[in-house]
Amino acid sequence: MAEGFVLDRTSFAYGVKQAVSNVSLQLSPGKLYGLVGPNGCGKSTLLDLLIANREPQTGTVRYQGRSLNGFSRRDLAREVALVPQDFGISFAFTVLEVVLMGRHPYIPRFGAPTAEDYQRATMAMDELGIGGFKDRYVPELSGGEKQRVVVARALAQDTRVLLLDEATSNLDIQHTLEIFQVCRKRVAEEGRTVVAVVHNLDLAAAYCDELVFMKDGAIHCAGPKDEVLTAENIRAVFGVEARVEFDDFCGASQVSFKY
């Protein structure tokens, strides 16, 4: 089995602010990881390091045994896709045109999308229920609809690794569950890797295999969700009192907070 991502004593700072501090972590194929922690704890920066949008100032980030510096941008884009926290689309692109952007790593320079590219884009739109408005212009869509378009764009990229940076923040419950179910299916049936920044601990408990708790740029704990999703870790990372109990209705642990 491929090695996946390995971070070894990786750090990154914005000026004097340490965003990621001495992180060592292995992200293996065939798992859905949840990155959880307070706002500003370094989760988005960690994803930026994984997709080489930023370079570590100390330590290393390796993928399949190779430093990310050894990948061209095109080759890495065939391996890793990111759904960013903010993705503004102000030009009058249609939904189909934006989803087809996910196929750019496979299209030669000055080339045109092939039948396979259109098929991948159509499959991604259908998975998220947006195929019915593929010809609508994206600036005319609601915030939730735009978010599903951006996720479909990443799915159409057809990579081994999918990074989600609060990908469901603008979505209602139905479409949030839909995206996590699509990710869960790709992990279980195709051995893909998904790393998702998740604020909803109940969703993380229901869909993730492993959780990574971050605080102040460092990893507080990481491991199988049933081992690390505890009241003690929630208190240490978020500073709130909680109770974690298994819920027969949803078939997963769920978190209650003391108000």
pLDDT tens digits for range 31-52: 999 999 999 999 999 999 999 9
d(CA 99, CA 1): 30
Three-state SS annotation for 175-195: HHHHHHHHHHHHHHHHCCEEE
Strands (E) across the chain are located at 5-14, 17-27, 32-36, 58-63, 66-67, 80-83, 161-165, 193-197, 210-215, 218-224, 242-247, 252-257
CATH number of the domain encompassing residue 139: 3.40.50.300
Q: Check pLDDT > 70 for residue 1.
A: no
How many domains is the chain built from? 1
3-state secondary structure of 67: strand
Q: For the segment 182-203, what is each residue's pLDDT rounded down to a tens digit?
A: 999 999 999 999 999 999 999 9
Q: For the segment 74-121, what is each residue's pLDDT rounded down to a tens digit?
A: 999 999 999 998 777 777 899 999 999 999 999 988 889 999 999 999
The secondary structure of residue 94, as a DSSP letter, is B
pTM: 0.94
Domain span including residue 74: 5-257
Q: Check pLDDT > 70 for residue 134.
A: yes
d(CA 90, CA 103): 20
Q: Taking residues 147-151, report their average pLDDT.
A: 94
| Mean pLDDT over each residue of the chain, to the nearest integer | 94
Q: Check pLDDT > 70 for residue 17.
A: yes
